[in-house]
Amino acid sequence: RSRDRRRGGRTVKDATPDRRHRDRRDREGDRDRKADRGPERGGGDRGRKTEAEDLWRQKLEARRRDDEKRRREDEDRKHDRKRDDERKREDDRRREDDRRRDDDRKRDDERKRKEDKPRDEDKGRDDKIVEDKSRDDGKHRDDDKHRNEGSAEEDRRKDDDARPRRDDRGGKREESKGDRNSRDEEEREEAKKKREQERLKKEQERQKYEEELQRRREEKRRREDAERAREEEKRQQDKEARRKSAGDEEEIRKRDDERRTKDDQERRKREESRKEDEAKRREDDDKRRVEESVKRQEEAKSLRQQQATLSVLRVLQKLSNASPDNFEGLRAELETVLVDDLPETGTQQDILRAEADRVLEYARQYVQQIREQQKKWEELRLEQQRKIQEQEQLARTLLEELAKNVANAEAASEDAHYTAAPLAGEHQMDNTHVLFVAKAVEKAGKAAMTACSACANFIVQTRATIDEAEGIRQEAATAIAAVQPRIQAATRQAAEALQRAKMNKERIIKKIAAAKYSERREKLFQKYDTNGDGFLRRDDVKAYALGEFGVELPEENLER
């Protein structure tokens, strides 16, 4: 960026050669100044030895002499380049004049060729007219010959026609000889007139052709005269241009001599100015060395203060992010820094001391809060762990109780099943024994159904409590899933035993009811069958209605 500013915002590509040389000298001057400051800034020495100062001074003087030499060489090259540019422009001007004259000559040649082209075309056109004329004459001669031959043929044909011919009735007609001669004479006169007209027409065409040919010759002669006049004028212009070019060369030589004289004067002025600048530059260098020495001392002191301040601030930054694990180590490091580096901070010592106390107190409070919070978290973790253990213990107890209930339900179901086994299929037991077995099955089946329902209700009621134990949730789900089919199987087995007992009991009850009904009817019939013949008479029916239903039947009903 500094180089770009020295170039006025231009890039290296856009800068001129002289500008690039000056930039290089500026960069070398910067390196010299850095070399002068090098030992004190880099090594931190309190002072420099005399020999080192002399060595650097000699090196600096040598570089300055080289820079001055390069600057003079650059100025000489600049003037030489300027003079070469002037000569180059003069040569370009001369070449441009020569090129312009060549272009004029080429244009004249082209114009001449264009003017010669119509003359060649006229000559070809004249030759063509002569050829056409000769061809027309030959054609006219051929036409006359054919016409004469046609006339002779026509005469012969007419003579043949004039001979006597046989008419349709076979008769002959004759034509007078005088009429034929007069007609032939008229035809010959007409042919002669036609030939005369054609001859006159050809004569007129030949006269027009000769006039056209004469006109073209005159025009060609005028063009040749104009061409000769233009060539003469061009030769005069070339002579004038050569005279003018000779005068320009003389003027150019005079300007070159004046330019050389002026360049010598400017070179002497530049040499004097260079000497003055060099003396002034020496004075400026001496002042700059003194100022730089003072500045380096101040910079070294400022650098030490900055380093000490940064050391203290770095430890304070670490301490502001302290944790219970590294708090003690950071506090010891802060005490060491305050003893070693704080006195070197200069005017910032009091401010840094107050800041260190504030940060240390803040870190102590923060670490204390973290420790108290960690203690609370540990207590909460233990409480949660105890609660989880209690939940798991309760869940395991409930699962064990569920397993016992399921086992009892299965045992009750098996008891009902084995009790109902005699009722299966065809059996030879009497009705009393069947009713006794059915009653026992009903008792055992109801007990089994009650146990199965109790198991299902137990699962529904305790499932939420069991699921709260997250540690054994999967184990509990597996155990519950395993006992549910057992409960269903026990329930189904008990229901089958109850159904079998119910069916046998209903069958026996229906059979006993039918027997009692028949016996009651037989006793009632025998009660009203007075004569014991197995039939009821009118009096027996009347007594039956009155005795059983309290109805006295009329005689007409009995008759009916």
Assess if residue 451 is contained within a domain. Answer: yes
Assess if residue 116 is contained within a domain. Answer: no
Confidence band of 429 (pLDDT split at 50, 70, 90): low
Whether 45 shows a pLDDT value over 80: the answer reads no
Average pLDDT, the chain: 75
541 and 517: one domain?
no
**Residue 413, burial from CB neighbour count under 10 angstroms (0-12, 13-18, 19+):** buried
Given this model, what pLDDT does residue 36 score? 47
What percentage of the chain has pLDDT greater than the value 70? 76
Assess if residue 392 is contained within a domain. Answer: yes
Assess if residue 305 is contained within a domain. Answer: yes
Assess if residue 178 is contained within a domain. Answer: no
Whether 19 shows a pLDDT value over 60: the answer reads no
Distances (CA, A) of 343 to 301, 305, 319, 332: 13, 9, 20, 18
340 and 446: one domain?
no
State the first-to-last Cα distance of the chain, in angstroms, to the nearest integer: 148
Mean pLDDT, residues 413-438:
72
The residue from 383, 414, 444 where one domain ends is 383
Whether 9 shows a pLDDT value over 50: the answer reads no
Distances (CA, A) of 419 to 163, 440, 503: 170, 7, 15
Confidence band of 555 (pLDDT split at 50, 70, 90): confident
State the residue range of the domain holding 436. Answer: 387-525
The residue from 354, 383, 412 where one domain ends is 383
Which residues contact residue 318 at a Cβ distance below 8 angstroms, ignoring those fewer than 6 apart?
Answer: 330, 333
Assess if residue 542 is contained within a domain. Answer: yes
Given this model, what pLDDT does residue 8 score? 45
Q: How far is CA 556 from the centre of its chain?
A: 120
Contacts 24+ apart (CB under 8 A), 465-469: 465/391, 465/394, 465/395, 465/398, 466/395, 466/398, 466/399, 468/391, 468/395, 469/388, 469/391, 469/392, 469/394, 469/395
Confidence band of 122 (pLDDT split at 50, 70, 90): low
Number of domains in the chain: 3
413 and 351: one domain?
no
511 and 540: one domain?
no
Whether 171 shows a pLDDT value over 70: the answer reads no
pLDDT in tens, 389-411: 888 888 888 888 888 888 888 88
Given this model, what pLDDT does residue 245 score? 65
DSSP 16: -
Whether 339 shows a pLDDT value over 70: the answer reads yes
Assess if residue 122 is contained within a domain. Answer: no
518 and 533: one domain?
no
Mean pLDDT, residues 442-456:
85
Q: Do the beta carbons of residue 501 and residue 421 sit within 8 Å?
A: no
Assess if residue 90 is contained within a domain. Answer: no
Given this model, what pLDDT does residue 124 score? 59
450 and 474: one domain?
yes
Mean pLDDT, residues 409-436:
74
pLDDT in tens, 135-144: 655 555 555 5
Mean pLDDT, residues 484-500:
84
403 and 378: one domain?
no
358 and 342: one domain?
yes
Mean pLDDT, residues 303-326:
84
Confidence band of 436 (pLDDT split at 50, 70, 90): confident
> Which range has the top average pLDDT, 98-102, 257-261, 320-324, 361-365?
361-365
429 and 514: one domain?
yes
Given this model, what pLDDT does residue 140 score? 52
Given this model, what pLDDT does residue 363 score? 87
The residue from 361, 383, 405 where one domain ends is 383
427 and 503: one domain?
yes
pLDDT in tens, 191-247: 888 888 888 888 888 888 888 888 888 888 888 888 888 888 877 877 777 776 666
397 and 490: one domain?
yes
374 and 393: one domain?
no
